[in-house]
Structure 1
Amino acid sequence: MKAHFPIRGAALLLAAAAASGALAHEFWLQPARFRLLPGETVYVRPLVGESFRGEPWGNGARKILRFGRYGPVPADTADLTPAPGGAPADTFRTAVAFARPGTHLVVLRSNFAFIELPGEKFTAYLREEGLELALRRRQERAQQALPGREAYRRCAKALVQVGLTASAADTAYRRVLGLPFELVPEQNPYRLAPGAALTVRVLRAGQPVRGALVQVWQQQPAGQPTGHFVTHANQSGRVLLRLLGPGPYLVAAVDMAEAPAALRDRADWLSTWASLTFAGPVLR
């Protein structure tokens, strides 16, 4: 298992300063609150930004392939995917009802969007995100000076706790949803004590991704700087985190491969961005 890094103080600030620049690509689901009472309905907003500070996602119903909620037991699910033509193309409803006590999983998967960057900026971006395959292939083909044409998509999850305690019988948090790229916790963060370890698997089409670069942010109380660190998945695609505070937390990773033939007229590369948000243990 790769070494884990506690989320605290100066060490985090040094880690953030060592990064080559702020990441503007992160995408995550942000409920109005991560801890709710049974029967509450809250907005779970898709946000995009950097350092766990985001703005509302500028896309809408036309970009959504999947939006839904999975409850603490398998039978408790709700498909909230916008119906084609049922909502204005630039909006979709993000209010989610949470009736049953326990840990719920909300998921959003987007379809493709496209971007093109000058060669130098694309190379810097690949290095910052640890996307070694694309870097190596572009070097081998002497393409560093060529623009980077990229298709990208999002696979975001959020864990919401309904009621005061999470049950050992809850199963939604660890469900593998068959997303192109996803982050799956092996323990329920709402059942962990402060300082306990949380193991997260990085999966590509259900298979572990060894060596994947994973970033973690922790929001701090009382206006303190957001904590941040970077680690890599081990041989079995796992990372180990220590949850030292109530959070919330954002865990994120990106996967990149050569674009499939169906996208080659607009993109040479396809990236898939995965994120997982949740609150941490309650300090007592």
Structure 2
Amino acid sequence: MKKYTLLFCLLTFFSFLSFSHEFWLQPLKFLLKINEHTTVDVFVGENYTGEKVDASKFTISKLTHYSKEGEKDIRGQIATKDSVKIPVTFSSEGNHLLAFNNTNKFIQLDAKKFNEYLRSEGLDNIIKLRKEKGLENKKGREFYQRCVKTLFQVGETKDETFSKNTGMRLEIIPTMNPYLIKSGDLLTFKVLFDNEVFSNALVLAWWVKHGKTSMKKLRSNSKGEVSFPITKDGRWMISTVKMIPYTASAEADYQSFWGSYTFGYY
């Protein structure tokens, strides 16, 4: 009996972890030459390490390339069906930004696990709402989707593409070009939800260097801004989550949006 109880607990725990994973775009290289080929994978995981996503479980609603020349829908460039591998080659110097959004997926957790998840992601608004409505002991039924971006540097030219608002519901936007700062400088990020300031968001800055991950977390201010010191080495991800009540149908009680912005110096 103890063996089966332990197995059930482990399965429940890992099911919870599999949902609470970060989600990001990960290029093989961020710093490129003109017409140099590379690929971008879509990853899900913990601690800014993970595995390629199973693309059969959702539909890509947005995969757009932004540059100083404009924007282009590149969903047709995806190389595989089971995992999202995006081949890219940029023919002009400057900054190039990819933005990805997928359709909703569904998750249901028992009350204890759902409340733990809300606390771990800093979703104070939903914790407060559940307390006010006496729902702390009710299971959590949730739709969730991803709003993620990655930034390349091609050649030496820098431009304003880094700050592009791509129109996704959750946006993370640097206020300075990550490839123009000096190592150790503070880099400020603005967080928007539905194109409005997202204040008091729990924002995480992940840094991977030589296979080791470090992470810092801060709350965004009244302007939706948060600043982190950036070392120009390895790869970085800035991430946050927004959750709102879901009232469009009886299928779920909440809707969440997971955002990330990646860049790197290799």
Fold match (TM-score > 0.5): yes
Matched, 1:273 2:258: yes
Distance 2:71 2:85 in 1: 17
Partner deviation per Cα, 1:240-267 (whole Å, 9 max, x = no partner):
1111241310100000000131xx3221
| Amino acid in the other structure paired with 2:140 | G
Distance 1:92 1:125 in 2: 27
Question: Which residue number in structure 2 is paired with residue 9 of structure 1?
Answer: none
Distance 1:128 1:61 in 2: 25
Partner deviation per Cα, 1:28-53 (whole Å, 9 max, x = no partner):
00001111111022211110001010
Matched, 1:36 2:21: no
Matched, 1:69 2:65: yes
Distance 2:81 2:40 in 1: 19
Question: Which residue number in structure 2 is paired with residue 134 of structure 1?
Answer: 126
Give how far 1:152 is off: 0.2
Give how far 1:62 is off: 4.9
Question: Which residue number in structure 1 is paired with residue 223 of structure 2?
Answer: 236
Matched, 1:81 2:66: no
Structure having the larger proportion of residues in strand: 2
Question: Which residue number in structure 2 is paired with residue 226 of structure 1?
Answer: 213
Question: Which residue number in structure 2 is paired with residue 178 of structure 1?
Answer: 167
Partner deviation per Cα, 1:68-124 (whole Å, 9 max, x = no partner):
2111x1x243211249xx998645551122111111101101110000001000000
Distance 1:79 1:97 in 2: 14
Question: Which residue number in structure 2 is paired with residue 253 of structure 1?
Answer: 240
Partner deviation per Cα, 1:121-158 (whole Å, 9 max, x = no partner):
00000001110111111112221121100000000000
Give the paired residue count.
250
2:55 match: secondary structure = coil
Partner deviation per Cα, 1:174-227 (whole Å, 9 max, x = no partner):
011111001001111111111112111000011111111001110123x4x311
| Amino acid in the other structure paired with 1:232 | R
Question: Which residue number in structure 1 is paired with residue 47 of structure 2?
Answer: 51
**% of aligned pairs identical?**
33
1:94 match: secondary structure = strand
Specify whether residues 259 and 112 from structure 1 end up closer, same or farther in structure 2 by C-alpha distance, changes over 3 A only.
Answer: same
| Amino acid in the other structure paired with 1:241 | F
2:167 match: secondary structure = coil
Scaled by the length of structure 1, the TM-score of the pair is: 0.82
Specify whether residues 123 and 235 from structure 1 end up closer, same or farther in structure 2 by C-alpha distance, changes over 3 A only.
Answer: same
Contact 1:202 1:238 survives alignment (8 Å): yes
1:229 match: secondary structure = strand
| Amino acid in the other structure paired with 1:265 | A
Question: Which residue number in structure 1 is paired with residue 3 of structure 2?
Answer: none
Specify whether residues 60 and 70 from structure 1 end up closer, same or farther in structure 2 by C-alpha distance, changes over 3 A only.
Answer: farther
| Amino acid in the other structure paired with 1:228 | M
Matched, 1:94 2:86: yes
**Gapped runs of 5+ residues in structure 1?**
1-20
Specify whether residues 56 and 89 from structure 1 end up closer, same or farther in structure 2 by C-alpha distance, changes over 3 A only.
Answer: closer
| Amino acid in the other structure paired with 1:77 | E
2:179 match: secondary structure = helix
Give how far 1:22 is off: 10
| Amino acid in the other structure paired with 2:148 | A
Contact 1:62 1:89 survives alignment (8 Å): no
Specify whether residues 153 and 77 from structure 1 end up closer, same or farther in structure 2 by C-alpha distance, changes over 3 A only.
Answer: same
Contact 2:97 2:151 survives alignment (8 Å): yes
Question: Which residue number in structure 2 is paired with residue 25 of structure 1?
Answer: 21
Question: Which residue number in structure 2 is paired with residue 109 of structure 1?
Answer: 101
| Amino acid in the other structure paired with 2:75 | T
